Structure 1
Amino acid sequence: MMEQTWRWFGPKDPVSIQDIRQTGATGIVTALHHIPNGEVWPVTDIQHRKSEIEYNLNGKPTGLRWSVVESVPVTESIKLSRGDYLQHIEHYKQTLINLSHCGIKTVCYNFMPVLDWTRTDLAFTMPDGSKALRFDAVDFAAFELFILKRPDAPKDYNKEIINLAEQRFSSMSLQAVDQLTANIIAGLPGSEEGYSLAQLQQAIDQYQDIDAEQLKQNLAVFLSHIIPVAESHGIKMAIHPDDPPWALLGLPRIASTEEDLLDILAMQESIANGITLCCGSLGPGKNADLAGIAKRLGHRINFVHLRNTTVEDSYRSFHEADHLQGDHDMCPIIHNLLQEQLLRKSKGRQDYCIPMRPDHGHQMLDDLSKQTNPGYSCIGRMRGLAELRGMMMGIQGSLDNRHQPPM
């Protein structure tokens, strides 16, 4: 079985450590969100967070462990290879060393310029009454063209979607405009930055001379510094794919396809330079072959997000589906990941157990009346984890039977 983990945003998370114990997860995925981006994570802070995970208020063990860091933020200076980026890289390296000393060996990160994962609707009503996260391509175009008013935005859209976006914007109330703006730029759970409209445009302007090829070169520079340190300290890095997997706001994206991931893995030929297989991020992309990626790149997959999406139209609007529904069949994905674990174990790899988590989840049942982090309410994720656990157990049982001698 893969290690079953759970995203936790620290003591202020509405879902407590005690709650997580009841989900059946054994690992925690978290980060030190209070440390400013670019600064070193001190050992004392890491150990304190680790203690919050491993022990309850009475000092008794919880049975949980800090399995994965998501994320150690990569600053905009590093992505741009400008300013004090070399100092930020040195701080990043020291953070990795400190995490290793505390026994935390898997680090998820992303290299998305300016905005992290992006949604336009944080409470899209599903047919069963639950609430899902959604990306509406027309809403996003309306934001770019008529709210942010990015100067070059009209070049990125055809006349049809511009007309639709104009109609959508003209029908919006001031409250709807404010809500759409907040959904996009205020920063979703786990995002590394939040912006005002003016700050967002200023951040975008910094990338005027940075295309996808240059951004890949900047990532290669970053990896050339950190992967040797990660490797020597037993750290496995896991880049998170772009979400959604295409360019937004005229900014380059470099981790949107299998070809992109292959380019990144080739930058440093080391298992320390790995990927996060986020099915929900890659899934909305055209011709995304998630089971194939799990098979072909399995030896470099260091972390897994299992969630599903449903693409709604030709503009690539999509919403987050139930974990075992949506556009992608989870069965062959999980089958190939469990096959990879068997292969690793046969080769004597100590990291054969891949951590996974049920990424996102619908707000449902009692959580509909509670204040929750968008995408990170408890019950929807627990449903997803239970479904995924059952599927893993069934597949693992069939794999085990293949290796049993006949009776």
Structure 2
Amino acid sequence: MAEPSPRRRAPHAPAHTPARTHALHRSLHALRHAAHRVDAATPASRDRAVDALRAVAILGVVLGHWLVTALIAEDGGLHTASPLQHMPWLAPVSWLFQTLALFFLVGGHVATRSLATARARGESYGGWLRARLARLLRPVAALLALWTVAGTALLLTGTPLATVHTLCKLALSPLWFLLVFAALTAATPLVARLNPLWPLAVVLHVDVLRFGLHLGPSWLGWTNLAAGWLVPYTLGAAWARGELHSRHSAWALLLGGTVATAVLVGWAGYPASMVGVPGSAVSNLNPPTLAAVTFGLAQCGLALLLRDRLRRATARPLAWAAVALVNLSAMTIFLWHQTAMMAATATGLVVGRLPGLHTAPDSPAWVAYRLAWLPLFALALALCRAAFRHHEQGPRRPRNRPSQVVHRHLPPTKSPHHA
């Protein structure tokens, strides 16, 4: 009698499914445990909506740059282009991802509260400012050092000067934002109580002179670089003082900013894109125009309306841990995201010209390919974060020292509004 054949393993059952499942469960458990530790270490008085808005602002800028900036490989070099040049109907993408106004809103809010707390402790303005700017500007040194070496090496190896200029310009482009933000931070004692209507009036008058009357020197528009971003910054200061807690003020900002932007774009000739488009006569961002400022007002109004929902969402440990992770490396992420994109693009050249990575952004197919490349950009950015985050966070803290992510940014008063 023939011996019974051994039972065959079902072809669809992997050999180590239980082990893999166990490892997955352990990883998820470790992730939840870490998230609960961060959540438990966070003071109940901390306004998590502020951190959530900062995370949204940073990630919006990063994704926006990755989607609207293309590096085209042609004639042995690289040059930049934008899908908004070839497909103007993509302008709404810039409405979603041009989130700088949110960052200035949060910056004004946090700086105003921080200064009030420092004064209550008897700390000098100089000491407060040094502490505020140290973490803001410390990561810049690493970026400048790396690109000084990289640019020199590229030139010595025969890379065309135009390509080196393109790469360095992209890598260092985030620095303009930091310079403006640092200047407004330093001016916080002077502008913390400034009515946002004053800088808004400056932007209005500058644009009337530039576009309406065609008067004034060529540099006049750059006045808006400070005045334009001072509008959301002073709104953040007003929020810190408790002047924007009513939903009526938030709705007024949202509706007023939306209507004003629609009028400016639809009837006053302002570009629909809220970011610069190569080849366009006017950019809404460089320098900021009145349309960019009114669009920022609408964004600030929406952010203020969503505060309670953001607080409820970040009450969940996993959501809060993700927000805290972004906030701990906010400047590192912001400074290195263009470098990460270029590193991924340069690596791809080893294979050849890849669609969505090295080709002209002139069709919907390019958009689909670019979306598929985003995970690779994110991986490159994660590597940059791992390599350079210590420049932002400082030396590794002792185990018994509280994490920076749960420090307070509250004023000395204990009003219910500040809870």
Q: TM-score, normalised by structure 2?
A: 0.27
Q: Which has the higher strand share?
A: 1
Q: TM-score, normalised by structure 1?
A: 0.28
Select the structure of larger CA radius of gyration: 2
- Larger relative contact order (C-alpha < 8 A, sep ≥ 6)? 2
Q: Which has the higher helix share?
A: 2
